[in-house]
Amino acid sequence: MIDQATIDAIRDAAVPPQNLLIDGTWRQARGGATQTVSSPINGEPLTTIAAGTAEDVDHAVAAARAAFSKGAWSKAEPRFRKEVLHKVADLIAAHAAELAVLGSRDNGTEIQTSIMSEPGTASATFRHSAECVDKLYGEIAPTGPAVLGMIQRAPVGVVGVIVPWNAPLMITSWKISAALAVGNSVVLKPAEDASLAVLRLAELCMEAGLPEGVLNVVTGSGAVVGEAIARHMDVDVLAFTGSGAVGRKLLRASADSNMKRVYLELGGKSPNVVFADAPDLDKAAMISAKAFFKNAGQICVTPSRLLVEESVHDDFVARVVEHAKAITVGDPLDVQTQMGAITNTTQMQTVAGFVAAAAEDGGDVRTGGTAILEETGGSYFAPTVVGSVAPKSRLFQEEVFGPVLAATPFKTEDEALRLANGTVYGLASCFWTENLSRAHRMIAGLEAGMVQVNSFGPIDNVAPMGGVKQSGNGVDKSLHAFEKYLNYKTAWVHL
Ligand code: NAD
């Protein structure tokens, strides 16, 4: 929780021009180029970030490799890495208000969401990774007495991390805390639209005692900085969260360079299947709306396709529409705001384009459908519900990443599953039923990395998160996340 007075005291604080973090030093990009950062709250310039170059990436990778070889982190006692990562978690918690406000000014997330999902989750994630540092063991293979098969796990070396704008602290922390926990060095590229809180996190990591060169941050454009990381011959593993289009480029870049392992957390079009025998249809309607419109629909797992059993469809969708109409949209830094801004004007146009396409495809806009609060200069879009969305339409098939909910009826459980699985995505899913047997059939049948049953609740660090199909590969969170950043080495000791 955060109160209005705390926010108001820091909401207009000047943000100095931001630099790159390379080898423990904050420095300008080669050539000194910068990029203006505008706030989606009012469209006004907030500050600048350094427009990194391929040479900056080379420098950052060299620093990361040198730090890895030197071993102040990679070969440190696990207890040292554990202490530092705990300290990072403490510092994030101590600066939670500052980080959440800065992040919301940068990307427009409503503050009540960002305080929990951003510093809240980031701190918990660093703590989880810290706790795992001294609990990840190697293995002894089952062999006869003449030989000892030791399976060791070693850090990969230099990990490239590229993250999106929608939950920058949370997603960055999932990746870097796990990569760092097992001894790697990192070269991180935040999104152009959400670098500020991530840069502050990097400062806190240095304050916590992370040795120089272990964490490097290069801001700038995806086409320049991201591409240079992806094509770098000395980056061992690339961990990415973002769109499928960029994910494909990264796979190509890996194939064309050193065949680095590439882990992709991509988009989604998560089905939310409501059966007539849901335990509480009122609650289901309220949660369906609340979960979807959070962060203006700019969440990868957001339940964006509402599939409702025909017998309750009209009534259920009407309830969701009422909830959508009641959402308070506006200034992300007002504690009463339930839905903040769309991150930038290009994304606003994309969202509006989806509504127009949905109408052309026979969809019926039940509420919303337009930009609002234009007098603020910011990017705000009305919570939108489109009914009668056909399974072949763009709105059913493609990720909007904005507050446009697609509703479609179904008649049978088989049809519900077919519709739910009927896109290229497989990130998250949700369904509502009181029928235990049906629940297990649905869990087994849904093609998704995550299934939520009878709610769409918050998710914890104890379980993995990742997608199937074109939603990606590999997972963040849980003990399984560390696998991405480790190599196995088997030693046969002949006795
Ligand atoms: P994006 O793919 O446009 O950008 C993501 C990052 O990639 C940014 O840092 C960007 O600068 C960089 N990038 C862009 N072009 C690049 C290139 N050619 N080479 C290397 N890097 C490049 O995504 P976005 O618009 O920032 O974020 C929204 C997307 O992220 C949505 O598709 C959303 O579903 C997805 N996402 C997925 C998850 C998940 O866990 N699966 C979580 C959050 C967001």
pLDDT at 492: 98
State which ligand 1 atom lies nearest to the alpha carbon of 427: 41
Mean pLDDT of 339-344: 95
**H or E element at residue 149:** strand 147-155
Burial level of 363, CB count in 10 A (0-12/13-18/19+)?
A: buried
For the Cβ of 226 lying below 6 angstroms from any atom of ligand 1, the answer is yes
The label of the residue with tokens 């350094």 reads 50
Segment 137-146, tens digit of pLDDT: 999 999 999 9
Smallest CA separation from ligand 1 atom 23, residue: 242
pLDDT at 229: 99
- Residues sharing a CB contact under 8 Å with residue 331, sequence separation 6 or more, in sequence order: 41, 337, 340, 376
pLDDT at 240: 98
- pLDDT band with cut points at 50, 70 and 90 for residue 173: very high
Q: What percent of the chain has pLDDT over 70?
A: 100
* Ligand 1 probe mutation, 292, 300, 346, 347, most atoms within 8 A of CB: 300
Q: Report the first-to-last Cα separation within the chain, whole angstroms.
A: 60
For the Cβ of 263 lying below 6 angstroms from any atom of ligand 1, the answer is no
Mean pLDDT of 431-441: 98
* Ligand 1 probe mutation, 241, 397, 423, 425, most atoms within 8 A of CB: 241
- pLDDT band with cut points at 50, 70 and 90 for residue 77: very high
367 alpha carbon – ligand 1 mean position (Å):
29
Which region, left, alpha or beta, applies to residue 391 given φ > 0 means left and ψ of -120 to 50 means alpha?
Answer: alpha
User: Tell me, what amino acid is at 279?
Assistant: P
Segment 17-26, tens digit of pLDDT: 999 999 999 9
245 alpha carbon – ligand 1 mean position (Å):
8
Segment 188-238, tens digit of pLDDT: 999 999 999 999 999 999 999 999 999 999 999 999 999 999 999 999 999
pLDDT at 226: 98
User: Is the pLDDT reported for residue 274 higher than 90?
Assistant: yes
pLDDT at 459: 81
**Could you tell me how many helices (H) and strands (E) the chain has, helices first?**
16, 21
Tell whether pTM > 0.95.
yes
Mean pLDDT of 383-404: 97
3-state secondary structure of 152: strand
What the block records as the tokens of 114 is: 């960002």
User: Is the pLDDT reported for residue 361 higher than 90?
Assistant: yes
pLDDT at 175: 98
Question: Is 256:231 a contact under the CB 8 Å cutoff?
Answer: yes
- pLDDT band with cut points at 50, 70 and 90 for residue 458: confident
For the Cβ of 168 lying below 6 angstroms from any atom of ligand 1, the answer is no
| Residues tagged active-site | 265, 300
Segment 114-128, tens digit of pLDDT: 999 999 999 999 999
| Euclidean distance between CA atoms 300 and 287, whole angstroms | 17
- Residues sharing a CB contact under 8 Å with residue 109, sequence separation 6 or more, in sequence order: 103, 117, 118, 166, 167, 295, 298, 332, 340
Q: What percent of the chain has pLDDT over 90?
A: 99
pLDDT at 457: 84
User: Is the pLDDT reported for residue 448 higher than 90?
Assistant: yes
Segment 286-336, tens digit of pLDDT: 999 999 999 999 999 999 999 999 999 999 999 999 999 999 999 999 999
pLDDT at 1: 84
User: Is the pLDDT reported for residue 438 higher than 90?
Assistant: yes
State which ligand 1 atom lies nearest to the alpha carbon of 230: 20
State which ligand 1 atom lies nearest to the alpha carbon of 245: 2
Smallest CA separation from ligand 1 atom 20, residue: 226
